[in-house]
Copies of this chain bind each other. A is one copy, B any other.
Amino acid sequence: MTSDNSVGTVSLQYMTVAEPPDELVLDSGEKLGPVTLAYETYGTLNKDRGNAILICHALSGDAHAAGFYKGEKKGGWWDIMIGPGRAFDTSKYFVICSNVIGGCKGSTGPASVNPKTGKPYNLSFPMVTIADMVKAQRLLLERLGIDELLCVSGGSMGGMLTLQWVAMYPEMVRSAIPIATALKHTPQQIAFNEVARQAIMADPDWRNGDYYEHGQPRRGLAVARMIGHITYMSDASMEEKFSRRLKDKNYSFSFNTDFEVEGYLKYRGESFVRRFDANSFLYITKAIDYFDLSEGRLFPKGTPADTRFLLIAFKSDWLYPAYQSQDIVKQLKRRRLDATYCEIYSTYGHDAFLLEQKEQTHLIKHFLHKTYRGK
């Protein structure tokens, strides 16, 4: 065990979920194959296979939700929420997290080698949607022998995958916990994604997506990430963290870094370049922008509708404001579903779903316990 209540040492696994001639038929009409998903699991699947929980990651997340790789210090992106005794209690539940298709963390994406050409797909990689990502995840669960999920959960884009799971496979999903998310992207949310994409595509090093031999479009990708970072925080959390503190004693009267917040953004931009593929960023943001389960598409008429819901939003989240979670609740209530809505006070902004351990743990633990016992 790397620390108390951690799932301890974990390792990334791979599963080929579609192999030619069985290709994955995408929303665009194109076909993709072979399709490999990178995934991790924590805890043990019960004999009755009724304790499986699927965790879905956000834009820049990956399959490494919990625990530690050998020698790794930081741990998975939701380690505070997954482990023995934690919100997603791995002493009771079997937790799975998989990297989405289009991603760059082990699943098939634009940086993968196209077996037909022997070269990376680059922009010949087909456009994928949130629904396509879910279709691939379902194939993974099939191969793992899981045909029912006690719960699907995730924040931000992970929340969209959660909603898409319910929309497409309601009979498989006993409960869902979408966090800090929305039924569809608003024009403001699309705009932030589009500007980030434009920043990448404006970088000559992007080379129309064909850059793998030369290295990332570093500058454009860093700018894209900096834009994102501002939207993940809040006015209040930035004030708490940086205020107007200077890096040096006085203004530089130059275009060097004056304020701590500037240095922080540059650091986050640069470190993102080292860990995330620019083309994947383009594909995944586009999938998010296309996502739209409004106007009754969450539960199309005639689908069984008995999934239980817990919805969580955060007061200072201005990227996915609470009213968007409330809109989800309205849709659910119209279908007379069992839905609990909680708005957590936090100054962390959108990042709160990654940081607010205590309140989320309390809500999720209780909700899962009730759902599991109700079986």
Contact = CB atoms under 8 A, between A and B. Distances in A.
Given A127-B253, A219-B202, A187 B243 contact: yes
Contacts of A321: 235
B259 A187 contact: yes
Interface string A233-265: 111001101111000000101110011111001
A204 B205 CA distance: 10
Interface in A259-284: 259-262, 265-266, 269, 282
Interface stretch (A58-66, A286-294, A325-333): A286-294
A184 B262 CA distance: 16
Interface in A316-338: 318, 321
Contact of A244 (B190, B197, B239): B190
Nearest to A202: B219
A367 B12 CA distance: 68
A274 B127 CA distance: 33
Interface stretch (A42-50, A97-105, A173-181, A223-231): A223-231
B187 A242 contact: yes
Contact of A192 (B198, B203, B230): B230
A151 interface: no
A3 interface: no
Interface in A57-80: none
Nearest to A126: B253
A117 interface: no
A191 interface: yes
A261 B229 CA distance: 21
Nearest to A123: B255
A191 B235 contact: no
A282 B27 CA distance: 43
A198 B222 contact: yes
A261 B198 CA distance: 13
A254 B283 CA distance: 9
A332 B185 CA distance: 42
Nearest to A283: B255
Contacts of A199: 199, 202, 223
A220 interface: yes
B195 A28 contact: no
A186 interface: yes
A238 B191 contact: yes
A238 B197 CA distance: 19
A244 B184 contact: yes
Nearest to A205: B204
Nearest to A257: B194
Contacts of A186: 235, 238-239, 244
A223 B238 contact: no
A258 B129 CA distance: 14
Interface in A168-218: 184-188, 190-192, 194-195, 197-199, 201-204
A190 B318 contact: no
B289 A194 contact: no
A213 to B, nearest CB: 19
A194 B190 CA distance: 21
17 contacts: A186-B239, A187-B242, A187-B244, A187-B260, A188-B230, A190-B259, A191-B226, A191-B229, A191-B230, A192-B230, A194-B259, A198-B222, A199-B223, A202-B223, A223-B223, A255-B286, A259-B289
